[in-house]
């Protein structure tokens, strides 16, 4: 199992031993979750961007700010492949050039500085990637693509969610295999298997961390144990060893730093065996389980970050790490110490940058489990199922009422049949409401007494 990019080349030239966050590709969303006929907004380290498709169907990424009066372009509309500002109707093309200003006379020249910055954007492995710099240095070979996803017979379950904490806390959470047995007991783990782990850091460089892990004391050599890598700056990749050497099983966890206290998770569970459940279960149904897994962690991580900010000390002073479980977590935080200087903000193990204590108030405000805004609104599958369940509920209620009214003026066996149909319509309305409720209601852990 490999990642296509030459992820960790430790014979790097001296000038490439520094990490530059703008010289990277960032995952924005899965292509199936991109709206077809309207702008799509997102942020990267608080900077707003807008995505849309031009008249040729090509992806375009611009700064989400009209040069006229700083209105958000994403509030506008797409007209003939151009994005139009909602405020005064200024229109911009694929390169950010202003093509039309309604307030100018027809013979007037559009000002040269009436333009918007554009950024390289590509579709790769069914995901949309944006290069964070407006320069022409973007190289698609640097996208951390996973080779197994392109192999025949490999399928994936794709899931996206916005989370109310920093990207570094998400990466710390998912690069920690030990928490799965406890935090996800009953969903993705089992607490009876919580035990010491053997963790080995194979390599560590500007491009990320290679790691391996196994249950402590296992006779399995490290050459055959589970692989767990951090590919800078936004991918954690699990590669699982299976009994069948021809089977591929992995978990790719991408992340996007939306801003302080906000990040986006893009998750892919992939495999090339026992694919029937992925093929035949609706995507929204698969997301129900994944929502629970994320929500089992969410309140814990939000509270963890808020407490760390309240204390105001370095993680080295706060954490009490164990060699039997926390090795990769500490390696990642130390990676930020060494390579995070260019980042707008970061929380390393011994150092940090632009971490403001007053952000804890915002974290508390956003700590509520809001599945509707964090997932359903940005997931095309769950959004469609959510709206459809509401329409079906209303339709079945209307049918039940109409049938009940008609039953009043009938008698005999016809009346029995109509009443029975009305009852069935009520039952179907209840089922539709239950689906809607299950889609939007977050998981709340029950504390065992």
Tokens of 314: 């370095």
Tokens of 12: 């790097």
Helix or strand holding residue 205 (H, E): strand 197-205
Q: What percent of the chain is helix, strand and coil (3-state, nearest 5)?
A: 35, 25, 40
Tokens of 15: 């000038």
- 222 with 201: CB under 8 angstroms? no
pLDDT tens digits, 279-289: 788 999 999 99
Using alpha carbons only, what angle is made at residue 58 by residues 53 and 64, rounded to the nearest 5 degrees? Answer: 45
Q: Which of 278, 54, 32 lies closest to 160 in space, CA to CA? A: 32
SS3 of residue 281 by DSSP: coil
- 74 with 52: CB under 8 angstroms? no
- 21 with 370: CB under 8 angstroms? no
According to DSSP, residue 61 is labeled E
Q: Is the dihedral of CA 398, 399, 402, 404 positive or negative?
A: negative
pLDDT tens digits, 369-422: 799 999 999 999 999 999 999 999 999 999 999 999 999 988 888 989 999 999
Q: What is the pTM of this model?
A: 0.90
At 223, the pLDDT band (50, 70, 90 cuts) reads low
How confident is the model at residue 14, as a pLDDT? 42
pLDDT tens digits, 228-278: 999 999 999 999 988 888 899 999 999 999 999 999 999 999 999 988 777
CATH fold label, 24-136: Rieske Iron-sulfur Protein (2.102.10)
Neighbours of 179 (CB within 10 A): 19
Give the domain ranges of the chain.
24-136, 141-370, 382-440
SS3 of residue 185 by DSSP: strand
According to DSSP, residue 87 is labeled T
- 175 with 228: CB under 8 angstroms? yes
Neighbours of 403 (CB within 10 A): 19
The arrangement of secondary structure in 141-370, i.e. its CATH architecture, is Alpha-Beta Complex (3.90)
């Amino acid at each position: 199992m490999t990642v296509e990019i030459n992820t960790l080349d430790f014979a790097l030239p001296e000038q490439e031993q520094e990490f530059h966050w703008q010289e990277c590709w960032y995952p924005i969303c899965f292509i199936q979750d991109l709206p077809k006929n309207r702008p799509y907004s997102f942020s990267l380290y608080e900077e707003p961007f807008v995505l849309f498709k031009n008249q040729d169907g090509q992806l375009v990424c611009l700064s989400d700010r009209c040069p006229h009066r700083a209105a958000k372009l994403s509030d506008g509309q797409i007209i003939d492949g151009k994005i139009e500002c909602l405020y005064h109707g200024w229109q911009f093309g694929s390169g950010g050039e202003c093509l039309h200003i309604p307030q100018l006379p027809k013979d007037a020249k559009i000002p040269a500085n009436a333009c918007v910055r554009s950024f390289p954007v590509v579709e790769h492995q069914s995901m949309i990637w944006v290069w964070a710099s407006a320069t022409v240095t973007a190289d698609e070979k640097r996208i951390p693509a996973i080779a197994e996803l392109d192999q025949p017979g490999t399928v994936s379950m794709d899931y996206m969610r916005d989370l109310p904490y920093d990207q570094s806390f998400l990466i710390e959470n998912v690069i920690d295999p030990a928490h799965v047995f406890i935090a996800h007991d009953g969903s993705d783990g089992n607490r009876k298997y919580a035990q010491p782990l053997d963790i080995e850091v194979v390599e560590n460089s500007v491009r990320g961390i290679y790691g391996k892990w196994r249950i402590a004391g296992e006779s399995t050599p490290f050459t055959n144990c589970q692989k767990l890598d951090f590919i800078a700056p936004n991918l954690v990749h699990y590669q699982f060893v299976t009994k069948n050497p021809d089977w591929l099983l992995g978990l790719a966890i991408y992340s996007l730093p939306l801003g302080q206290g906000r990040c986006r998770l893009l998750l892919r569970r992939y495999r090339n065996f026992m694919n029937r459940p992925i093929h035949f279960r609706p995507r929204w149904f698969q997301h129900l389980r994944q929502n629970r897994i994320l929500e089992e962690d969410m309140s814990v991580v939000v509270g963890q970050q808020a407490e760390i900010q309240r204390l105001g000390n370095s993680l080295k002073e706060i954490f009490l790490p164990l060699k039997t479980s926390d090795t990769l977590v500490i390696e990642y935080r130390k990676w930020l110490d060494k390579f995070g200087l260019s980042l707008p903000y970061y929380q390393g193990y011994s150092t940090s940058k632009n971490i403001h204590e007053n952000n804890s108030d915002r974290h508390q405000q956003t700590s509520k489990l809001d599945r509707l805004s964090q997932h359903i609104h940005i997931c095309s599958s769950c959004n469609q199922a959510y709206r459809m369940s509401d329409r079906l509920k209303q339709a079945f209620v209307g049918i039940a009422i109409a049938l009940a009214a008609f039953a009043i003026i009938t008698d005999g066996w016809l009346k029995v049949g109509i009443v029975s149909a009305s009852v069935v319509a009520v039952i179907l309305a209840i089922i539709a409401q239950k689906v809607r409720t299950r889609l939007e209601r977050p998981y709340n852990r029950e504390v065992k007494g």
